[in-house]
Structure 1
Amino acid sequence: MKKWRLIIDVEKCVDCNNCFLACKDEHVENDWPDYTRPQPRHGHRWINIMRTERGQYPLVDVAYRPTTCMHCDDAPCIRAAKGSITKRPDGIVIIDPVKAAGQQELVKACPYQAIWWNQEQAAPQKCTLCAHLLDQGWKKPRCVQACPTGALRAEFVEDAEMSRLCQTEKLEVLQPEANTRPGVYYKNLYRFNKCFIGGSVAMKREDVVDCAEGASVTLLKGQEKLAEAVTDNFGDFKFDGLTANSGNYTVQVQLPGFPEAEVAVELTLSKNVGTILLA
């Protein structure tokens, strides 16, 4: 059976908040019976843009991760809801606004902090993936429709097709250790939850220092070669997708006509090793 899935590309998100505003436009002061009550104007972020900054000046990397209800196949909120939260055959998880009234404890049942408490309605609320619109024949929810960069994408596919997309596009889920089997997948998630080692290579000939374009840079951990890169026209290089607090690495630089250079790096968080000068 086909299910709705949301695919989010972290690399394409620019924090414009069009998705957030579209969600507000659709739900603030609008009551969708059997789906959800009106969303409060302030406080709730049914699609929440999380932000992270990596590295050190001048090599700084900023990434944004839109985060919403994961519409899990094995949702903890459903187990805690006493029948007030259900998962539809098309994969969308819905909180019944009548049955869930008064159940503020459901806010803590979600490991992704995607459920919000509406004090005025005395009920928990969250993203519905605009199920009321999809049921009318819409091909995408409002957040996807409003995204100008293509960072958000809705797919209505079978499980087998979703598995193929995960493999071909290297998609991941948040908090896989929670074993909730989310229906929201991320592309380029390393930009948010991994670290990098980067820097620049310069060369000195006589009294002139210039960017070293085309230098070969190798990243090693112990004797194991992890990755190779070639510096760009600014002499810059970057190795991404590394795990925080993963220990000691070695950066080796080679450029014809210059002695090999080597820098030791202890990785806690993303690290800018600065300029490696070949002389």
Structure 2
Amino acid sequence: MKVFTVDLSICNGCYCCQIACKDEHVANDWTPYAKPQPDTGQFWIGLTEKVRGHVPHVKVTYTPFMCNHCDDAPCIADCKADAIYKRDDGIVIIDPVKCIGCKICADTCPHNSIYFNEQLNIAQKCTGCTHLLDNDDEWTVPRCVDQCPTEALRFGEEEEFADFIKDAELLNPGAGTKSRVYYKGLPKKFIAGTLYDPSAKEVIIGATCTLKDNDSGETFTETTNNFGDFWLDGLGDDRTYTLTLEKDGVSKVIENITTDIDRGLGDIPMDMSS
């Protein structure tokens, strides 16, 4: 069965996926797969931009989102017209002919991936470009995947992506719908800073930065780079940490750093002459 995989570490926010989807579906009638997508108001694949941290320690993450083509799709179970079905390849389709415009599927989708076309009085969403996959031997992937310049977005058989999936996450795991869209690099909390020597008026390169979770005892370690910066990423939400900075026998401890938000600690002085 087919899956989508998304590697956020190489998504550069170019919006090619979103534009390609619009190009393929706006003003094009692909019945029985889909009626035309409105030119505004719907993004069958869209992109969110999340900015985290404090200047100068800032991260930006771009996250493509689409229909999750769930194995346990509530939209299928709740559809009163039997207009929504799951294909043998795992793609979920809303039949635009059978849809009666009751809006139940749009209301029940926990991923907010179903849109309602007021003009046509039908529900609509990502089709996986099945009109291409079924009818054109040259097409093996949806338009969004084909247009992704970094290959952050990929599509294929589940077995083909087994190594990716075993380390991946779901965008909305709490929904419990058995999504077929898998992500790597979803944003986690981070603590960052710049270590410098106020006496020498230079950044400190190669210092060991050890972060300890005050409750679990788990530790994270980094070294400062050529700019004196350190980034301790992949941290849990709402945790409390102790940070120890050390270089050539000189150390500095910062206690009770919380990850209720992503923490940019700014410039941290550590006098190497002491």
Aligned length: 266
TM-score, normalised with respect to structure 1:
0.91
Partner Cα separation in structure 2 for residue 220 and residue 157 of structure 1: 37
Q: Does the CA contact (< 8 Å) of 1:218 and 1:225 recur in 2?
A: no
Partner Cα separation in structure 2 for residue 123 and residue 219 of structure 1: 52
Q: Secondary structure of 1:22's match?
A: helix
Q: Which residue of 1 aligns with 2:146?
A: 145
User: What amino acid maps onto 2:176 in structure 1?
Assistant: N
Deviation of 1:225 after TM superposition, in Å, equals 4.1
Partner Cα separation in structure 1 for residue 270 and residue 158 of structure 2: 53
Deviation of 1:108 after TM superposition, in Å, equals 1.1
Q: Secondary structure of 2:46's match?
A: strand
Unmatched runs of 5 consecutive residues or more in structure 2:
none
Q: Which residue of 1 aligns with 2:169?
A: 172
Q: Which residue of 1 aligns with 2:262?
A: 270
Q: Which residue of 2 aligns with 1:260?
A: 251
Q: Which residue of 2 aligns with 1:78?
A: 76
1:219 aligns with 2:220: no
Percent of paired sites with the same residue: 41
1:244-265 C-alpha deviation (Å, 9 max, x unpaired): 222x2111001005x2101121
Q: Which residue of 2 aligns with 1:34?
A: 32
Unmatched runs of 5 consecutive residues or more in structure 1:
none
1:231 aligns with 2:230: no
Q: Secondary structure of 2:201's match?
A: strand
TM-score, normalised with respect to structure 2:
0.93
Distance 1:39 1:250, change over 3 A: same
Q: Calculate the aligned-residue CA RMSD, in Å.
A: 1.4
1:185 aligns with 2:179: no
Q: Which residue of 1 aligns with 2:119?
A: 120
Q: Does the CA contact (< 8 Å) of 1:30 and 1:39 recur in 2?
A: yes
Q: Which residue of 2 aligns with 1:14?
A: 12
Partner Cα separation in structure 2 for residue 144 and residue 163 of structure 1: 18
1:111-138 C-alpha deviation (Å, 9 max, x unpaired): 1110000111100000001011111231
Corresponding residue to 1:195 among 189, 193, 210: 189
Deviation of 1:164 after TM superposition, in Å, equals 3.8
Deviation of 1:222 after TM superposition, in Å, equals 2.1
Q: Which residue of 2 aligns with 1:241?
A: 234
1:44-70 C-alpha deviation (Å, 9 max, x unpaired): 111111121110111111111000000
Q: Does the CA contact (< 8 Å) of 2:17 and 2:46 recur in 1?
A: no
User: What amino acid maps onto 1:185 in structure 2?
Assistant: Y
Deviation of 1:104 after TM superposition, in Å, equals 1.6
1:178-201 C-alpha deviation (Å, 9 max, x unpaired): 111111000111x2xx21011111
